[in-house]
Amino acid sequence: MSDYMRKGALLIISAPSGAGKTTICRKLLARRKDLKYSVSCTTRPPRPGEKNGKHYFFLNREDFKRKIQRGELLEWAMVHDEYYGTPRHFIEEQTKKGLNVIMAIDVQGAMSIRRKHPAAILVFVLPPSMDELKARLAGRRDASEVVAKRLANSRGELAAAKDYDYVVVNDDLATAVEQISCILTAETLKTSRLDPSSASFVTALA
């Protein structure tokens, strides 16, 4: 059966800063050709090594607000005092082709996507411990007040894990990646995701 008989799924990954969501996404994308990454827009400045159009679309506040007004964002939220949002067009284009789209977005964004797309798969990634989270955050080259703000916000984010469909602990990276890949595979094979036009194909086999 062609993959085109199923509309692509939306795989949403949320985690507190430093839990390893970026690395997990990178590894997943490397092993799954059916998965595409949704590059978000943000008003926060790029970190060293981050490229416009690859890691984020880096925008000033005026341009970001213009995108909101034009309805170009599927969702947007204020996170750590900066704007972040998901471009609508890319997701529509990829899922129509039967491809799955992964989005690394915060809790507010995840809940807003779920309201619009109830079939979205919501995965929350937990750090193995708070000490480990602190150590990973301290290892970044962010300013100390940025790290402090992110740590403070992480407590609120962790409380939201119970509202997700799946919770994965990122203790061992390879295991976490394998688990999320299995979740995606199982979810995309659900009968409810069959395109209505392929119902005749299934009936013909019966």
Q: Distances from the Cα of 36 to the Cαs of 52, 87, 96, 103, 190, in angstroms?
A: 17, 13, 13, 9, 20
Nearer residue to ligand 5GP within complex by CB, 149 or 193: 149
CB of 40 to ligand 5GP, least distance (A): 3
Could you say which residues in the range 35-74 bind ligand 5GP, by CB under 6 A?
40, 44
Indicate whether 198 belongs to the interface with ligand 5GP (CB under 6 A): no
Could you say which residues in the range 3-42 bind ligand 5GP, by CB under 6 A?
17, 40
Residue 37 exposed, middle or buried by CB count within 10 Å (0-12, 13-18, 19+): middle
Residue 154 exposed, middle or buried by CB count within 10 Å (0-12, 13-18, 19+): buried
Nearer residue to ligand 5GP within complex by CB, 140 or 193: 140
Q: Give the pair of three-digit tokens for residue 37.
A: 């990454």
CB of 206 to ligand 5GP, least distance (A): 42
CB of 79 to ligand 5GP, least distance (A): 4
| Phi, psi dihedrals of residue 39, rounded to the nearest 5° | -80, 120
Quote the CA–CA distance of 90 and 86 in Å, as a whole number: 9
Contact (Cβ atoms closer than 8 angstroms) between residue 162 and residue 204: no
The site for ligand 5GP, by CB under 6 A, has a size of: 15
Q: Give the pair of three-digit tokens for residue 12.
A: 């949403």
CB of 106 to ligand 5GP, least distance (A): 4
**Helix (H) or strand (E) run with residue 79 in it:** strand 73-79
Indicate whether 106 belongs to the interface with ligand 5GP (CB under 6 A): yes
Indicate whether 85 belongs to the interface with ligand 5GP (CB under 6 A): yes
Indicate whether 108 belongs to the interface with ligand 5GP (CB under 6 A): yes
Q: Which of 28, 105, 126, 161 binds ligand 5GP (CB under 6 A)?
A: 105
- Residues found near ligand 5GP in the complex (CB under 6 A): 17, 40, 44, 75, 77, 79-80, 84-86, 104-106, 108-109
